[in-house]
Amino acid sequence: MLNHLSTALTLFTRRLPASSPRTFSGALRRLCRMEAAVVRCLPGEPKLTISFCLQGSHKHMLRDQDEPLGKVLARISNGIAKNQSKAKKSKKNRGQEQPDEAAEPTVVKLFYDGEEVPETVLNAEAWQDGSVLQVGDVKYSVQRNAPTFTTAELPVSLLAGFPVCPKLEVEFGNVQDCEFTWFRENYQDSGWTQVGCERVYIPSNQDISFRLKLSCTPKDGSRSGPAKELVSVGAVEAGPGVCLFDNRHAFTAKVTDWPTVRVVSYNILADIYAQTDLSKTVLYPYCAPYALQLDYRQNLIKKELAGYNSDIICLQEVDKGVYVDSLTPALDAFGLNGVFKVKEKQHEGLATFYRRSKFRLLSSHDIMLSEALSSDPMHAELLEKVSANGALKNKILQRSTSLQVTFLEDLNKPGRKVCVANTHLYWHPKGGNVRLVQMGVALKHLSHVISEVAPGAPLVFCGDFNSTPSAGVFQLLSEAVVPPQHADWSSSGPGESCSMELLSDIPPLLSACGLPAYTNYVRGFQGCLDYIFIQPDCMQVEQVIPLPSLEEVTTYEALPSVAHPSDHIALVCDLRWNP
């Protein structure tokens, strides 16, 4: 049977008359005009699915792959007969009695290459791509394993001037190949007006107060699957006007040319922290409540990140749901892939994105710092020193602070690799000693994995280090040593003091964005806590994107605000990676 089916197209053309070119073209056109019957059938799975529309009703059948075709066809025919019987009973109940006539069963057959497929053939072999299902007078073109959307959603909140990025997942296809058409609601004739044809749509002021509709067709190259239509839940609303990051985008209008790499580090403020009573009444009481809502802030974050045209993005305080449902589909639409490391015991974590046209993901080597300290023999010496103070040791081991380590390969120069590290250290103002130990573990781990995975690869170390330039962590990174008399060793008081000389296995690093007056600006604190560290012998700073002025930052007193989604400011710089 399989051999017979494989010769389908050849046999079909042979049976056409001598003047067949025109006839053959007509046959193809008729096939294209048919409605589709979509079949999903994968080796190793016991079931297959058959989906098609019949008399305005969507049919979705789940059948055994090793079941004879005849049983499926009979099921379709019987289903039609039952519907006809119900319709007759309904007419009788309304007094519209019909003569009792036995309805003839609907003919249901499957054809391949113009020949009827025997009913004894098993489903897995019978439902071939390009075959034709006949149900009465209706014919369907069978699409086996056609590109299909398994997820297709529009964001809830839509703002004029801010990108709308649908969440899409395709089976048997590629999102980059899909076709998109955007429409705006038209109240005058209850219809829709076409407004765009790209994957991402940026609503204009003309779209305010109207809903949007997206018609999208899944594709794999030239092969198409069943289209989907998505209508927004709500209408487009007015945006906030000028945002804090708008002026910065003037410096990042284009993607950098090789060998320059644009890097972003940004604490985007996790929703689980923004929505607490502490945040609303103590930390950010000056921020309008609606501007702390996740949907609103996500619009700003996506526009800000898209406008930087970055090659590498390291984010902190990323809610797991935000990574999956918002950031991944948005940044994927702008050419970036991502990896995520969730904090243990938390619902937020670290995310690293990279431009897929420039980099290939090699491997990830993420760790929870406290777990590595207590269980990895390479940290035994540090653990022994910390254990001299039981209270400090317990505090460190209770922390879920993580280190995300990602190795990328340069696609423009295969074999050339870079190590991208991302972290968010312990937050407490008096936790300098905890952060020192955490950084000691991080640097030891980085030195080890670089030597194991990609010897000589440069390190780009991003994050919210919760450390000002006078802190021990900054000294350890920039000088590769912290002396035992540093004040941070006793930052939490004599009861948790632990003095030691801490050495870094990685040579001194350079803060690529210098030492800004502030990267975190709230009512109770303004200071530099975020950094992008590089190895100056491997990379040079070409451009640092200027941070917003004090006047801009304090337009709404402090951060976050209606014009900025986080209490932190993104660091953005262009690095020249020595060829």
What positions carry a catalytic annotation? 464
Question: Of 258, 353, 227, whose CA–CA distance to 575 is shortest?
Answer: 258
State phi, psi for 463 to the nearest 5 degrees. 155, 175
Do residues 497 and 433 make contact, with C-beta atoms less than 8 angstroms apart? Answer: yes
H/E segment holding residue 567: none
Helix, strand, coil percentages in the chain from 3-state DSSP, rounded to 5: 30, 30, 40
Q: Are strands 191-196 and 260-267 parallel, antiparallel or unpaired?
A: unpaired
Q: Is 80 strand, coil or helix?
A: helix
Q: What is the largest CA-CA distance in the chain?
A: 103
Do residues 406 and 314 make contact, with C-beta atoms less than 8 angstroms apart? Answer: no
Nearest-10 Cα torsion for 551, 557, 558, 561:
-100
Peptide bond into 469 cis (omega under 30): no
Question: Both ends of the chain: CA-CA distance in Å?
Answer: 58
Give the whole-angstrom CA distance, residue 410 versus residue 420: 13
Tell me how far CA of residue 472 lies from CA of 468, 488, 512, in angstroms.
9, 6, 18
Two tokens, residue 136: 């009465």
Give the whole-angstrom CA distance, residue 459 versus residue 464: 16
Do residues 458 and 538 make contact, with C-beta atoms less than 8 angstroms apart? Answer: yes
Q: Are strands 115-116 and 336-342 parallel, antiparallel or unpaired?
A: unpaired
Two tokens, residue 526: 């303004």
The distance from CA 38 to its chain's CA centroid, rounded to whole angstroms, is 27
Give the whole-angstrom CA distance, residue 295 versus residue 162: 12
Give the whole-angstrom CA distance, residue 512 versus residue 479: 15
Two tokens, residue 502: 């801490």
Instruction: Tell me how many helices (H) and strands (E) the chain has.
Output: 16, 32
The DSSP symbol for 206 reads G
Do residues 72 and 109 make contact, with C-beta atoms less than 8 angstroms apart? Answer: no
